[in-house]
Structure 1
């Protein structure tokens, strides 16, 4: 009996001690437990962003951005290339190129589907003489054409109608093996530099011969050290080099398993091939690993690159922003990393990496084993190089050092089971109200969302390590749920962001300043281009508004929490007695329909501002979820304050009362522990005293039934029911002698008699014998 009662008391004591520890850790606000912070959730979130314009095609068109400027965009699609104006996404002109009947029939004979047997335009280049180079898949038989534009007469223009078909004359029509992919879904890329086309694609129908090609030069065929099942994502030109970004199976990890690494490869623009039998091989092809990982004792790597941005001139640095993900069957995660072009080029000046044999590890090549002059740099005429130098580059294309990310860590990390990052675009050097410049990054996901964020670098005076803070400004649902974002294009003149999917173009606002209706919401957005106008009480776009930097007519708070941002907002004194001791924030005007759609929970978690979630809406949720997740600043984690409190007075009361609650919880817990221990001691003492008084026959449950005399009624009590402890759920016999159980026995016998009406049953024998 004492043992059964001591277990609950002990369990209760352990539970109370655990609760005390949790309360203590939470109340003290320990910040050392911050290995991997959760995703930063923006304040501005909507189910569907406001669509300014759209251009709709078919899901099998496989839209691809071939070229764009601030006014127009060229879109390659199935059998046609569109010239679309960014002002309303209206088609200006088109050029059609269909596969021949023979090519389509041959494609069908090869086992391809009907939608495969079309000409998907994938490569576009404008030559200096005005000619247009256009390449397409051509029903799995790639071809390129050189077009010369021809002026159209007024009659031809009128007959073209709304399509505005442009007239071109084909000057050349050649095969494009190695220049254009066979399939529109294949990950290929290209760069056009100095009048020459550099392509990274496959050279055969099955896709088993990847290559980096220019004119008569290519990577070695079926050489896994150079290219091992790559997926190309982008190419750029810089300082006499062409850089290719891709992911591939890692050769240096083959002895440990199978892994995919992200790479950047480099070739010289003036490479003419090697001497003798090396005339069609690159003499300058080198590659290095891209390091995008969360630093620590055991870094967490995002190994699969998905997209890159063009070179962004960010102050004195030239950066390339890239999107990375984990593998499909790993922990779902995505990251955005930036790389300095100078760091990329410097990696190719380091040590080479090699493997002695197939069973050996990959190790740096010793300096005395590297031929002199050093292989790899660009030379005036690569055909004068020695065969030793060319062979060394062919067998040692991998560099030992990886390219580090800027700041040594990702600019944005996302761990989300529902989506991964797929595309990226950068609005460089946006000037804030303080005069500082920020790169505003837009990243698309595979479920139709666009995330907008900036990075703020904070320098601590007592530390040599700078702190990088990620500010997620907004996350908008732009495309239908489940539709991947393939590419992003920014138009600053139109203040729009073009989101590209396989079969549509959608234009959404680049900034949402005008959709914020209160001061706290505008400041909490932390968009460097948005500021609160103290005169008109509006959240304005600094790029379009007439203002002078450094004036006091605008408010902006980028590197602060919501609590500190709320203190910056102006307060208006209330009329009536006691007005000098009370202040409230100016109530914003009623929102418009666009503001209802886009304004989520900005500023709803802290401060004195009224928000739409706190006001009675009569059942109208403005198209938003009723339950909203409030953004949590890492500086405020962890905290016991309720994030849904809307007034500062309630927060202050909570902060003032938090220590009292902790002290009271500790006192109550100690009381429970002391009381439980005293109870256990008393129960054990009582048990020992009872054991001295009882006869040994009390512990016998397997002999004949024992009759006890009740102290009050004098009647015999039958303990036959449940006398065997192994036949009931009660593991110990019931020894409560103070309670009359005769009525329970009577009810039990009556119940059995109903179930067993036979007079000769066991129940009858029991009655005759014991009752």
Structure 2
């Protein structure tokens, strides 16, 4: 018989349960690894709308120009001049397509709403003329408008003291200057009196180009442009920079991938010699690197929007929104790029491919013509054909443009939304005198996330640590409504959110809506501070204060525990109560605050102690906005996921970590109960089988014998090789002696009469044979 024991059903069941639990915990760990490391302190169902400007969903609103007071909005057949003070229309300029153009558009198979003139390009020329371009029913055209001052009578009837009227001075075709479709991703920049546009030059959209006057990128040259989507353009130091995403040529041998790019052309480029007279001689492009660092970096490859150049201290930065591809893990990121790093990338090595089956490798320096191609020269028409051909065949740079700090400023992993727009409030001065760029990012489901980045240095490390502080996440537009653009007005303290058919103005800051000290400090908004005299959370930009005084409190780059210690405490009752110098009683909330924050804080855990929490009446959740039982830096990342802060607080509760813990406990209890039932069934079946086997298995005394385990009392199968006559017990087994007493009376009649019956089996055997 084999000496190996076969595992029992109970053991197999226990092993199975252990494996399932390990797999479940491993899955939760993997998911937690994707969770962002911050959660916004301020979350509401719907942000307070200060004003709105409503159109139709087919208007395809686009911001053409703006300042701190007004915004120009391109729409269907009209351009609006809207005041940021209440989003009121001041004036409009209408431009409709002709009947012939609309009929031709319909004959080409386009829908009725496509056959309109969507105004996409606006520029103010040095002579005061206005350049305006529109899709014109899939037949783009541009107009030059000359301002004409109206009479006082016309101005009075129009309701403006200095009303202006515009007359058309020129009307020309706009092929290459304006897109054919309002939904096409195009961009432009107006610099030194010239319009630089990045769009398509044909009806089908198959001929993308970067165009200025008579210069353009090569037609149908995939090395220069390969199905690009343009997102923005800026002008800097004699160059015009275009940001876009396109299919990657250098990845074609491995599959299909989309990379983000930045392209550069010289403003003084006049084209090349001879047959290159209509081609750029300075067009170069480089990859933008927005990735999570590591041994295997994770890339956010698809750029979606950029900000204008932001002067952040000594650096000139461009903030950009990136996403993963639509069929990948849904993720978004915000990265910043130094303009100097962008321009430096174009001074590096060129990248080339020997043939279609080869890898893309750097071009050796000996093979680069001299002077170096792609540079801005005084007259590009004097360049040699060798230099122009080289730049035509080698437009891609080897080095990618690195992100500032080498990593994203914000990462979001969420199944429900992706980032689509960005705006930056630059260099906001905090109470300590430090400056921060406050960043607003919009999503495709109507949310706006506000955050800052704090750079700190660890004492034991030379690497600076970048901390992301998400201040708030607000539902601004209805769920499912994508945010196309964001505009900041500091003078009106408002953020204008643009969708396809509406403009909505919401507060830029929410300081006045916080009614307790801890809530004000925990927001870590550099413009919000707690006033110790009036017991209010105030906006530093509008408050009369002196920096460095002790009248205000602010806590940046600290934990909530540290922020709580800064707030004045409430005295406690009883002996040994702490003596405090300030008592901060929160004023009763207004009706506006009740409506805005009626559900905030319902997902909160245990509250701080009495000395950290203001008291008094129903706080309507106001005092719970930032009070948490644990600090974000002390717990796992999945407990601080800003992506769980979707439209309602109930959904936040369902997606929070306690629900995961509860789910794990329920799974464990279920398996435990099932395992216990399985063990009981196996045990019962084993006893039944042994009872049936006792009839056929007899010992040498001629009586049925049943042995019990020395420790557990369980039946032991003789076929397992157990020796019934050996034991390691130091004391007699009471159950064994009880079972043997009956046998003693019946099976020892031939033994000596003085043999006591109440003795152990070993003693009986010794006395019998001795």
In the superposition, the TM-score normalised over structure 2's length comes to 0.79
* Equivalent residues in 2 for 1:343-742, closer than 5 Å: 343-574=341-572, 579-580=577-578, 586-599=584-597, 634-636=632-634, 637=636, 694-695=693-694
Whole-Å separation in 1 of the counterparts to 2:746 and 2:611: 60
1:66 to partner: Cα distance:
0.4
* SS of corresponding position for 2:198: strand
SS of alignment partner, residue 661 of structure 2: helix
CA-CA distance at 1:732 after TM superposition:
35
Which residue, 87, 104, 109 being the options, matches 1:111? 109
Q: CA deviation at 1:180?
A: 0.3
Partner of 1:270: 268
- In structure 2, do the counterparts of structure 1 residues 51 and 154 end up closer, same or farther at CA, with 3 Å as the change threshold? same
Change (3 A) 1:361 1:757: farther
Q: CA, structure 1 residues 152+648, in 2 after alignment: closer, same or farther (shift >3 Å)?
A: closer
Per the alignment, in what secondary structure is the counterpart of residue 637 of structure 2? Answer: coil
Secondary structure of 1:34's counterpart equals helix
Question: Aligned partners of 1:306, 1:192: CA distance in 2, in Å?
Answer: 21
Q: Are the counterparts in 2 of residues 753 and 763 from structure 1 also a CA contact under 8 Å?
A: no
CA contact (8 A) 2:69 2:84 kept: yes
| Preserved contact between residue 292 and residue 302 of structure 1 (Cα < 8 Å) | yes
Per-residue deviation at 1:167?
A: 2.1
Q: Residues of 2 paired with 1:753 and 1:167: CA distance? A: 136
Separation in structure 1 between the aligned mates of residue 401 and residue 647 of structure 2, nearest angstrom: 48
> Which deviates more, 487-496 or 583-592?
583-592
Q: Which residue of 230, 233, 239 corresponds with 2:231?
A: 233
Q: Distance in 2 between matches of 1:554 and 1:626?
A: 21
User: 2:199 corresponds to which residue?
Assistant: 201
SS in 2 for 1:595: helix
Alpha-carbon displacement from aligned partner over 1:512-549 (angstroms, at most 9, x marks no partner):
00000000100111100000011110000000001111
Aligned counterparts of 1:526 and 1:666: Cα–Cα separation in 2: 35
CA offset digits 1:62-119 (Å, max 9, x no partner): 0000000001110001111111100000111111111111111111111111111111
Distance (Å, rounded) in 1 between the aligned partners of 2:18 and 2:713: 53
Aligned CA distance change for structure 1 residues 714 and 321 (closer, same or farther; 3 Å): closer
SS of residue matched to 1:441: strand
Per-residue deviation, residues 675-708 of structure 1 (Å, max 9, x unmatched) = 9999999999998999699456599999999999
SS at match of 1:31: helix
Query: Offset at 1:156?
Result: 3.2
* Deviations 1:552-580, CA, capped at 9 Å, x for gaps: 11111111111111111101325776644
- Could you say if the C-alpha distance between residues 634 and 291 of structure 1 is closer, same or farther in structure 2, counting changes exceeding 3 Å? farther
3-state DSSP of counterpart to 2:675: helix
RMSD of Structure 2 on Structure 1 (CA): 12.1
- CA drift of 1:271 comes to 0.2
> How far 1:592 sits from its partner (Å)?
1.0
2:39/2:641 contact within 8 Å kept: no
Give the Å deviation of 1:589: 1.9
What is the Cα deviation at residue 157 of structure 1? 3.8
**Residue 326 (str. 1) matches residue 319 (str. 2):** no
Question: How far, CA to CA, are the matches of 2:724 and 2:420 in structure 1?
Answer: 66
C-alpha contact 2:333 2:408 (8 A) present in aligned 1: yes
**Per-residue deviation, 1:745:** 36
The separation in 1 between residues aligned to 2:581 and 2:26, in whole angstroms, is 32
Q: Could you tell me how far 1:633 is from its partner in structure 2?
A: 5.1
Does the Cα contact within 8 Å between 1:334 and 1:421 map onto a contact in 2? yes
For 1:162 and 1:266, the matched residues in 2 are separated by 43
Deviates most, 713-722 or 414-423: 713-722
Report the CA distance shift for 1:19/1:410 in structure 2 as closer, same or farther (over 3 A): farther
Over 3 Å counting, the alpha-carbon distance change for 1:443 and 1:749 in structure 2 is: farther
Secondary structure of the 1:583 match is coil
Q: Which runs of 5+ in 2 are unaligned?
A: none
| Counterpart residue number, 1:181 | 179
Report the 3-state secondary structure (helix = DSSP H, G, I; strand = E; otherwise coil) of the residue aligned with 1:32.
helix
User: How much does 1:654 deviate?
Assistant: 22
Distance 1:155 1:653, change over 3 A: closer
Q: Alpha carbons of 1:181 and 1:15: their partners in 2 closer, same or farther (altered >3 Å)?
A: same
With 59-68 and 36-45 compared, the bigger mean Cα shift is at: 36-45
Cα shift readout 1:698-721 (whole Å, capped 9, x = no counterpart): 999999999999999999999999
Secondary structure, in 3 states, of the residue corresponding to 1:547?
coil
What is the SS of the residue equivalent to 1:262? strand
The count of residues paired between Structure 1 and Structure 2 equals: 767
The alignment partner of 2:387 has SS state of helix
Residue equivalent to 1:287: 285
Q: Bigger shift: 150-159 or 397-406?
A: 150-159
In the alignment, is the contact (CA less than 8 A) between 1:43 and 1:600 conserved in 2?
Answer: no
Q: TM-score, normalised by structure 1?
A: 0.79
* CA separation of 1:279 and 1:618: change in aligned 2, threshold 3 A: same
1:604/1:456 CA distance change after superposition, 3 Å: farther
Secondary structure, counterpart of 1:665 in structure 2: helix
1:259 aligns with 2:257: yes
In 2 relative to 1, CA 721–227 (structure 1 residues): closer, same or farther, beyond 3 Å?
closer
Taking a change above 3 Å as real, the CA distance of residues 266 and 500 of structure 1, as seen in their structure-2 partners, is same
Cα–Cα, structure 1 residues 54 and 9, in superposed 2: closer, same or farther, change >3 Å? farther
Q: How far apart, CA to CA, are the structure 2 residues paired with 1:702 and 1:169?
A: 126
State how far apart, in whole Å, the 2-side matches of 1:493 and 1:657 are: 38
Following superposition, the deviation at residue 287 of structure 1 comes to 0.2
Q: Secondary structure at the match of 1:697?
A: coil
Q: Is the 8 A contact 2:522 2:626 kept in 1?
A: no
Q: Secondary structure at the match of 1:274?
A: coil
**1: distance between equivalents of 2:687 and 2:377?**
99
- 1:759 is paired with a residue whose SS is coil
Equivalent pair of 1:563/1:607 in contact (CA under 8 Å) = no
Q: 1:229 to 1:630 in 2, by over 3 A?
A: farther
- Is the partner of 2:63 in helix, strand or coil? strand
* Contact 1:27–1:658 (Cα < 8 Å) also in 2: no
| Residues 53 and 647 (structure 1), Cα distance of their counterparts in 2 relative to 1, 3 Å cut | closer
Once residues 454 and 246 of structure 2 are traced to their aligned partners in structure 1, the CA distance between those partners, rounded to angstroms, is 33
* Residue 597 (structure 1) shift: 3.3
Runs of 4 or more above 6 Å deviation? 4-11, 13-34, 161-165, 581-585, 600-632, 638-690, 698-771
Confirm or deny: 8 A CA contact 1:75 1:83 kept in the other structure.
yes
Quickly say closer, same or farther: Cα 1:38–1:520, change in 2 above 3 A.
same
Cα distance change on mapping 1:737 and 1:360 into 2, 3 Å = same
* Residues 704 and 314 of structure 1: CA distance in aligned 2, closer, same or farther (over 3 Å): same
Deviates more, 1:343-352 or 1:751-760: 751-760
Q: In the alignment, is the contact (CA less than 8 A) between 2:614 and 2:623 conserved in 1? A: no
SS in 1 for 2:30: coil
User: How far off is 1:755 after superposition?
Assistant: 64
SS in 1 for 2:8: helix
Corresponding residue SS for 2:639: coil
Instruction: Between 289-298 and 643-652, report the one with greater CA deviation.
Output: 643-652
Question: Does residue 309 of the first structure (1) align with residue 307 of the second (2)?
Answer: yes
The answer to whether the 8 A contact 1:488-1:497 is kept is yes
Answer yes or no: is the 8 Å Cα contact 1:61–1:502 preserved in 2: yes
The answer as to whether partners of 1:6 and 1:680 remain within 8 angstroms in 2 is no
